[in-house]
Homo-oligomer: A and B are copies of this chain.
Amino acid sequence: MSDVPLQPPFQKVAIIGLGLLGGSIGLALRDHAPGIATTGYDRDPATRVRAAERGLVGTVAEDAVKAVQDADLVIFCVPPLAMGAAAAECAPGLRADALISDVGSSKVAVAKALGEVLPHHTIIPAHPVAGTENSGPDAGFASLFQGRWCILTPPESADPARVEALSALWRAIGAKVEVMNAAHHDLVLAITSHLPHLIAYTIVGTADDLQEVTQSEVIKYSAGGFRDFTRIAASDPTMWRDVFLSNRDAVLAMLQVFTEDLTELQKAIRLGDGDKLFDHFTRTRAIRRSIIEQGQDTAAANFGRQG
């Protein structure tokens, strides 16, 4: 599974949705798998124009049916709750043997939505755990997936050869591939991605609403830690609305655990229990160290950003 073939086993990849993820896949394929033809479509005309200008895909099609014609792999790169409609729009043009995939951040719901619309196609959902706070056709870049993990959640019935073909494509554009079941994916991502976003969106809103502290003060003194949260809370609102609605149960379950833990630290603060706080704050350092050691973040102070 670890060899990267020079030519992944697809001739023509159609990318539906040309925002941050779709655009990055297109640019990465252009750089790393020039033998693969790429077409793309976005329902927003302005995005199609910009996608063509940036060369996000070889051909930007004017409608979804044309975009998927002759494609042996179709990757849906639209927000989770838009997957079904996007698949329905493409359906008339799809090859019967086209492999269907996506990049959605929740997997049980997306697999279900795609499966309902395309019951006769092989669907192997995927989620590259990579992104930035930017969105739209200007946000993508070819190196987005370098060193990041892409999780595939094939149904049990999936042909291993097709899973391997999709894995090879992701490896070709720099990702490391993991396979797991969709329900477990949704639980894992609830803690490593969805809950962090929910909390960041919350605290940025809290700060914005305060009466006692002005917005100007919040902005001026944000270098105390708050500014980190604003990056995540600047992510695409449509995408994140859909993530929370489509992975509701896992997010609520993780939120429950988080709230219990927060209440415990709140109590330690109220009671002045310094030992409890110190112990908690000490063990969280180890996780940071592991993340850096495994190449998932920079070791540079303040993420290496400039003042």
Contact = CB atoms under 8 A, between A and B. Distances in A.
A253 B251 CA distance: 26
Interface string A182-212: 0000011101111111111111111111101
Contact of A223 (B130, B274, B277): B130
Copies of this chain, tallied across the complex: 2
A219 B147 CA distance: 13
B285 A237 contact: yes
Contact of A133 (B194, B200, B223, B302): B302
B269 A245 contact: yes
Given A231-B297, A274-B241, A288-B230, A221 B188 contact: yes
Interface residues of A, number: 109
Given A232-B228, A237-B278, A285-B233, A210 B191 contact: yes
Contact of A193 (B194, B224, B254, B277): B224
Interface of A: 81, 105, 129-134, 139, 143, 146-149, 151, 178, 187-189, 191-210, 212-213, 215, 217-235, 237-238, 240-242, 244-245, 248, 251-252, 254-255, 257-259, 261-262, 265-266, 269-270, 272, 274, 277-278, 280-285, 287-291, 294, 296-298, 300-307
22 contacts: A146-B307, A149-B221, A188-B213, A188-B218, A189-B221, A191-B207, A192-B213, A192-B222, A192-B226, A193-B226, A196-B226, A200-B228, A202-B261, A202-B262, A202-B265, A206-B254, A230-B284, A233-B281, A233-B287, A233-B288, A238-B278, A259-B259
